[in-house]
Structure 1
Amino acid sequence: MNHHLRSLFRLARTFKGIVALSMTSFLVIVGISMAKATAQSTSTQPIPQTAAKQIQALVQEKLSRTQGQRKISSSLLYALKAKRGDALIRSIPSLSTAVRFRADNKVRVDIKTISPVTPDLVQQIKATGSEVLFSSPSYNRIQAFVPVTQVENIASLPAVRTIRQHLPPRLLRDTAPQSKELLKVNNPFPGRQHELPAAVSGSADARSRSVPKG
């Protein structure tokens, strides 16, 4: 009798295990099926017609850029086109940029050259009505205020690699090695040589002049 009872208990436990395993497998299969259905419905959801047209217009705009325009950063190029009243830029508000222009319609830019800056190249840029703030032959860089109508002309020069809007350097952090070349100041600690960006050194000079000499 006891032997039969033990056999029945073992059979019941085995049956429970089979049922639990079957339920788990069923739930897993259902979950996978639901996930696939959700993914398919999401992927087949059509893109709004307005967004599709905007994407197509942007692709066409990039493909139609001239060799000179390809050297200009997109944010600066969009700002130039917005200044000219370009229809594409007006139709896509998200293309508006933070590029600032002076009252005389000049924009401050950083020009990267292919080879060291030459006096001839500087004169070419000045001939466009641009104001060259400084040039760095060692770092192939020119910074200037350029008329809106002349940015693309300068970009088309063979010696120019890229043009982008000027971004002020962060104070107390030398993120641009070129800034070292702008101004060198004496180190207050003898025996060591320091170079500071102009934005920092200018305030340091002002403080040193205000301290009375003993």
Structure 2
Amino acid sequence: MATIKIRPALATDLPQTVSLDIAANPDHPIMTIPWKQFSHKYGVWLSRHLYFLNHPEKFQFLVATTPSSSQPSGEEIVGILVGTLPENDVKAVEEWKPIFPEGTQEDVIMYFLGVVEGDKKKYHAADMWELELFCVSVEHQRQGIGAKMMQEWLKPIDEDGRPLYIFASVKGKGLYEKFGCKVVGTLNTNLKDFGVEQLPHPNFHMVRDGKK
């Protein structure tokens, strides 16, 4: 495996992080809705990544990089991890409010986000850390990059001693179990009523006990 470096994300990383996020999650319900054009989807996701970057008091935005001569920066971003500090430690931060291009199925997106947030409240407490976003590029999966990023991110969490909450995908569940996370609930999201022809999308509510 090529040399992997893990560091905080920079504004200049966003073109790569957004593209990676979209490519690594093709089955995500929001990705599967019929966007009028790719630039619309990209713009909404760019605003999300920019939101993470602009609020370091709440989010830890990390990237995994490997040397690359094909990138102007000399680095290819192969992994993204966004962690959220416990709510008890963070002053009120305005929620992400994306501006949707005309023609976007905004009702589908807001429905999905509302269902997820509502269900999370059953398991996510204000003293918990949270894994907000985590993905590895398709070309670099199953090479230990995800595990390395998790190990790095968990160091301060273990020192802190409080529990961790993850809203996990099917693909991520096995990795999180290796780090001590346990499934405490399941959510199957169905967007068929909105014309999105996709099987119910399963996610798992997972919790890792604190170290105190």
> Same fold judged by TM-score > 0.5?
no
Name the one with the larger helix percent: 1
TM-score when normalising by structure 1: 0.23
TM-score when normalising by structure 2: 0.23
**Greater radius of gyration (CA):** 1
